């Protein structure tokens, strides 16, 4: 079938999620103006054609209580992908794994954060639209092609 992607998304898992509310925060203020986002990414080849992509998201500083930040949130989400006939020397294949995988996973992270913050009885947080590839380029940590020291993950 022409036009079929060689990159297949196999699902995702929330590996870690932490939320701490600041009891001193004034929720009458606009929360979105106080949020500070931090992202990090890790790509690990877990098989000849399989990859685990981890996106770590932190909102605000862990020591948030010194300011008027409403909360601290930290999450790690892993997405699992397969790329047909993966070729380590192919720039196209590397770009698919390094960038497209994050772009595929990001809407799930955005939804999870919005849903969870709404459940915590605070105004829901919607991650702003951002150039996730540009953020990735600034925080590049790729282990594609390196021997994996972690246990093989099967899904």
3 pLDDT higher than 80: no
Q: Rounded to a whole number, what is the distance in angstroms from the first to the last CA of the chain?
A: 25
Token pair for residue 55?
């996106």
What's 100's DSSP letter?
A: I
Token pair for residue 127?
């991650």
Least confident residue range of 71-75, 76-80, 90-94, 138-142: 138-142
Q: How far is CA 52 from the centre of its chain?
A: 11
Token pair for residue 102?
């994050």
Domains of the chain listed by start with CATH number = 7-143 (3.10.420.10)
97-132 as b/e: b if 16+ CB within 10 A: bbbbbbeebbebbbebbeebbeeeebeebebeeeeb
| pLDDT tens-digit readout, 132-141 | 778 777 776 5
Contact by Cβ (8 Å): 64, 71: yes
Interatomic CA distance for residues 71 and 25, integer angstroms: 8
Residue 143 belongs to what H/E stretch?
A: strand 142-143
β-sheet bridge partners, residue 20: 72
Place of tokens 């297949």: 8
Tell me the pTM.
0.80
Contact by Cβ (8 Å): 97, 34: no
What's 150's DSSP letter?
A: S
Q: What was the pLDDT predicted at 155? A: 28
Rounded mean pLDDT of 80-95?
A: 89
Q: What was the pLDDT predicted at 98? A: 86
Sequence-distant (≥ 6) Cβ neighbours of residue 145 within 8 angstroms: 45, 88
154 pLDDT higher than 80: no
Q: What was the pLDDT predicted at 75? A: 96
Q: What was the pLDDT predicted at 2? A: 62
């Amino acid at each position: 079938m022409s036009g079929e992607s060689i990159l297949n998304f196999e699902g995702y898992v929330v590996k870690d999620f932490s939320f701490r509310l600041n009891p001193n925060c004034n929720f009458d203020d606009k929360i979105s103006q106080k949020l500070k986002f931090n992202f990090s990414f890790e790509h690990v080849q877990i098989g000849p054609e399989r990859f685990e992509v981890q996106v770590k998201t932190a909102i605000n500083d862990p020591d948030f209580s010194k300011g008027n930040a409403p909360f601290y949130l930290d999450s790690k989400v892993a997405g699992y992908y397969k790329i047909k006939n993966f070729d380590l020397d192919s720039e196209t294949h590397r770009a698919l794994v390094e960038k497209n995988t994050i772009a595929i996973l990001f809407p799930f992270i955005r939804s999870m954060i919005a849903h969870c913050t709404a459940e915590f009885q605070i105004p829901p947080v919607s991650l702003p639209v951002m150039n996730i590839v540009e953020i990735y380029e600034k925080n590049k940590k790729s282990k594609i092609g390196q021997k994996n020291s972690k246990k093989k993950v099967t899904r």
